[in-house]
Homo-oligomer: A and B are copies of this chain.
Amino acid sequence: SFDGRQSQVAAALQRGVCRTLRALGHSVVAELPLANGRRADVVGLSPSGDVLIVEIKSCLVDYRTDGKWHEYLDYCDRLYFAVAADFPCEVIPEHAGLILADRYGAELVREPAETRLSAARRKAMMICFARAAALRLQHHLDPGCGFES
C-alpha cells in the first residue's frame, strides 16, 4: 500500500510531529522497535517520564491496511494518530488522540484516553528509548564506533 509518494508524505508528517513534540517539551525517537516486534513511528518522552506513541498515517489506505494499532496501546500512556489536513478524520476512533501535521509542525486536535504504563513496562520503554537514541547518536558522532545503526 506504500508507494514513494506516500512514503514522502509520511516522512514529512513525521518531521512536523517531531518538531512540535519537541516544542511541547518532549524528546522523541522515530522508528522505535518495540518488544512485541512492532515498530512505533514516533515515541515521545515527557520530562516526567510519560510515554506517548504517534502513528503516522499518510492516507486512508495506509490507515486501513494497518489493522494492528491496538498493539501499540500496551507500550505507551497515550496513543495518537497523526494525519494530514485532508485526511478523513472521522474514521479514527475517538479514544485515540488526533494530530494534524505537515512538514513544519503539528496541532494536537484531540487528546486520547490515557492508559498508564506499569512501572516495570515504563522502565523497559525508557531503556528501549534511551538506548535507541544514544546508539544512533553515537553512530552519528563517531561512525567508526560499531556496526549497529
**Complex alpha-carbon distance, A28 and B27, angstroms:** 17
Assembly of this chain: how many copies?
Answer: 2
Find out whether the CB atom of B127 lies under 8 angstroms from the CB atom of A19: no
Residues in B neighbouring A9, C-beta threshold 8 A: none
Q: What's the Cα separation between A136 and B134 when bound, in Å?
A: 9
* In the assembled complex, A35 has its CB within 8 A of some CB on chain B: no
**A130 close to chain B: CB less than 8 A:** yes
- In the bound complex, do residue B136 and residue A45 qualify as a contact, i.e. CB atoms below 8 Å apart? no
The winner among A127, A137, A140, A146 for most chain B CB atoms within 10 A is A137
Chain A positions 122 through 135: 1 when the CB is less than 8 Å from some CB of chain B, otherwise 0: 01001101110111
User: Which residue on chain B has the smallest CB distance to residue A23?
Assistant: B146
Residue from the list B15, B123, B131, B137 in contact with A123, Cβ < 8 A: B123
Q: Tell me the smallest distance from the CB of A139 to a CB of chain B, in Å.
A: 9
- Is the CB of A49 closer than 8 A to any CB of chain B? yes
**Are the C-beta atoms of B140 and A27 separated by less than 8 Å?**
no
CB pairs A–B below 8 angstroms (21 shown): A18-B145, A19-B142, A22-B135, A22-B145, A23-B146, A27-B130, A27-B131, A27-B133, A27-B135, A28-B134, A29-B134, A45-B127, A45-B131, A45-B134, A47-B131, A129-B130, A130-B130, A133-B133, A133-B137, A137-B137, A140-B140
